């Protein structure tokens, strides 16, 4: 797990914990837990919501650490300015990642699905939350992996499809060079995420 | 719940290094994200350039906020359109429209103006970084071949690169609005993306399919060349040649209009 600290952000949002899990076997269970947690009332509901208080992101759709950081950062900014489009800062990350404005589409595409096997788990908190990795491991059954592994997981075909990049001149220019293409796609996708709050 | 007195973006600006200031915006160099991998050699993390459109006291606050927001959004949109169209531009790293801050990719390199021996600019420009001002003061007299040597290209090749980027941009119906040699940079060949000619500052950019707008865009650059770089007609001819080659069949109409514009200046009508 990696922890990033942003000293200029409000204290309770200043710390970002990111973990990549491979070989995840309980995706459908995670998904149904999140759904159930949102429907429970009373103290049980509070406890269950706290237990799954993370962003669960399909790692195949993330091009780079910068791509992920950009989405997380824009979500935190939105929370700090009281301009969230979704209910929580964690769901806002999924919204920022998706190129359209449709929230349920964002969650369906970028969130955890029953078939997900590689999962990025993000928790935004104050610097005082300590046992984050343990909290994550209680929810996710899988192999904790270094973030560097992301480059082997990215599903560039789906990324290009979701961002409608296949017909763009930028990609035609690098069609024969996949390393070059990944640089171009990563740049477009990261910039799109950064611009999400002002895109029409 | 999370609202604090000082906006996070303004706090970030306070910690950043101010590079230059114009009438419209201040430019900073900042580090946005903590580095992910401490093992990596460049453990400083990626630099970003922050363009801060500060509050204009002379405007009504409501108008100021809405103008600032739409300009940040407009600049960001023009850059995205360029990226998708394969025009070399800096990527976007963050947007805080409420505060008027646009964070873009830091480009390791120098402005074409500087590399052609036009000197570093003394005001309002994002290409002149602090190091350039300090280290390069004495060498402004040095011939451009020596400045360009580090980049492994000749001035003629740079002109070709300019013409090609402009053509790609105009084919995507993006008009830059402020083409000068200060608004073009050469990305250093040692940087991860390699040697590139990068167009910067899309603050005045807009979308247009009109021949007139594209011809004026070229005309503005032609004038900028002749005023910043003495005896540069030959160089600029190289820009037009590469532009013509890339534009193909669209070139004839633009050339015809460019000749009109040269006679009358960039304003179509002198009335008013």
Spans in chain B with pLDDT lower than 70:
1-5, 36-44, 121-145, 269-272
Q: Which helix (H) or strand (E) holds A17?
A: strand A15-22
Residue with tokens 């580095």: B35
Rounded to an integer, what is the distance from CA B144 to the centroid of its chain? 20
Domains in chain A: how many in total?
1
Provide the CATH number for the domain around residue A151. 3.30.2380.10
Strand partners, A60: none
| Listed residue (A11, A74, A71) closest to B4, CA to CA | A11
Residues of B in contact with A199 (CB under 8 A): 73, 76-77, 80
* Per-residue model confidence as pLDDT tens digits over A36-77: 999 999 899 999 999 999 999 999 999 999 999 999 999 999
Question: Are B80 and A195 in contact (CB < 8 Å)?
Answer: yes
Would you state the structure tokens that stand for residue B88, as one six-digit string?
């070399």
Question: ipTM of this complex > 0.85?
Answer: yes
**Residue B7 counted as domain residue:** no
Residue B107: CATH number of its domain: 1.10.510.10
Residue B6 belongs to a domain: no
β partners of residue A4: A16
User: Where do we find the tokens 């060949």?
Assistant: B189
For position B143, what pLDDT does the model report? 61
Residue with tokens 């096997």: A117
pLDDT at B144: 61
Of all helices (H) and strands (E), which one includes residue A44? helix A42-51
Domain, as residue range, for B68: 14-264
Burial B117-151 (b: 16+ CB within 10 A, else e): bbebbeeebbbbbeebeeebeeeeeeebeebbeeb
Q: Which site among B89, B91, B195 would you substitute to test the A interface, given the most A Cβ atoms closer than 10 Å to its Cβ?
A: B91
Active-site pick, B64, B156, B173, B178: B178
Cα B269 to chain center, whole Å?
28
**Would B208 be classed as within a structural domain?**
yes
Backbone angles phi, psi at B155, to 5 degrees: -60, -40
Does a structural domain hold residue B271?
Answer: no
For chain B, strand residue ranges (E) read 17-21, 26-31, 47-52, 92-96, 101-105, 109-111, 174-175, 184-187, 196-199, 206-207
pTM of the model: 0.90
pLDDT tens, position by position, for chain A (200 residues)? 999 999 999 999 999 999 999 999 999 999 999 999 999 998 999 999 999 999 999 999 999 999 999 999 999 999 999 999 999 999 999 999 999 999 999 999 999 999 999 999 999 999 999 899 999 999 999 999 999 999 999 999 999 999 999 999 999 999 889 999 999 999 999 999 999 999 86
Query: Out of B37, B92, B105, whose CB is closest to A195?
Result: B92
CB burial of residue A70 (10 Å; 0-12, 13-18, 19+): buried
- Structural domain range at position A99: 2-198
Check the CA dihedral B95-B101-B103-B104 and report its sign: positive
What total of structural domains would you count in chain B? 1
- How close A196 comes to chain B (CA, Å)? 8
> Which of A83, A56, A91, A76 is closest to A124 using CA atoms?
A76
**Does a structural domain hold residue B113?**
yes
């Amino acid at each position: 797990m990696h922890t990033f600290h942003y000293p200029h952000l409000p204290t309770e949002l200043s710390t970002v914990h990111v973990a990549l899990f491979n070989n995840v076997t309980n995706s459908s269970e995670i998904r149904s837990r999140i759904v159930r947690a949102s429907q429970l009332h009373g103290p049980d509901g509070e406890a269950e919501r706290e237990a799954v208080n993370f962003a669960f992101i399909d790692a195949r759709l993330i091009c780079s650490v910068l791509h992920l950081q950009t989405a997380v950062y824009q979500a935190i900014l939105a929370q700090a300015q009281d301009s969230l489009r979704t209910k929580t800062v964690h769901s806002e990350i999924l919204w920022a990642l998706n190129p359209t404005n449709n929230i349920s589409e964002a969650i369906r595409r970028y969130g955890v699905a029953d078939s997900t096997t590689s999962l990025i788990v993000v928790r935004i908190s104050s610097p005082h939350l300590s046992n984050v990795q343990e909290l994550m491991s209680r929810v996710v059954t899988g192999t904790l992996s270094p973030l560097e592994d992301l480059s082997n997981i990215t599903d560039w075909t789906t990324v290009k499809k979701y961002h409608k990049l296949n017909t763009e001149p930028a990609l035609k220019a690098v069609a024969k060079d996949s390393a070059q293409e990944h640089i171009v796609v990563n740049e477009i996708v990261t910039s799109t995420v950064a611009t999400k709050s002002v895109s029409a | 719940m999370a609202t604090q007195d000082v906006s996070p973006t303004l706090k970030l600006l306070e910690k950043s290094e101010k590079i230059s200031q114009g009438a419209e915006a201040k430019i900073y160099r900042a580090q946005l994200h903590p580095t992910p991998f401490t093992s990596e050699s460049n453990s400083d993390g990626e630099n970003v350039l922050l363009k801060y459109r500060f509050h204009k006291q002379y405007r009504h606050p409501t108008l100021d906020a809405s103008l600032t927001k739409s300009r940040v959004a407009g600049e960001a949109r023009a850059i995205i359109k360029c990226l998708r169209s394969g025009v070399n531009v800096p990527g976007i790293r963050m947007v805080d429209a409420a505060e008027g801050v646009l964070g873009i990719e830091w480009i390791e390199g120098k402005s074409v103006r500087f590399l052609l021996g036009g000197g570093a600019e003394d005001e309002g420009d994002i290409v002149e970084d602090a190091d350039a001002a300090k280290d390069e003061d004495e060498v402004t007299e040095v011939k451009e071949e020596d400045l360009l040597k580090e980049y492994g290209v000749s001035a003629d090749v740079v002109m070709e690169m300019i013409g090609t980027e402009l053509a790609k941009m105009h084919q995507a119906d993006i008009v830059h609005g402020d083409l000068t040699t200060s608004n073009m940079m050469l990305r250093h060949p040692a940087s991860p993306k390699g040697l590139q000619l990068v167009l910067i500052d899309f603050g005045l950019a807009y979308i247009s399919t009109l021949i007139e707008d594209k011809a004026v865009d070229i005309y503005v650059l032609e004038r900028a060349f002749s005023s910043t770089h003495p005896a540069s007609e030959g160089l600029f001819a190289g820009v037009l040649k590469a532009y013509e080659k890339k534009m193909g069949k669209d070139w004839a109409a633009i050339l015809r209009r460019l000749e009109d514009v040269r006679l009358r200046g960039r304003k179509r009508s002198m009335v008013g």
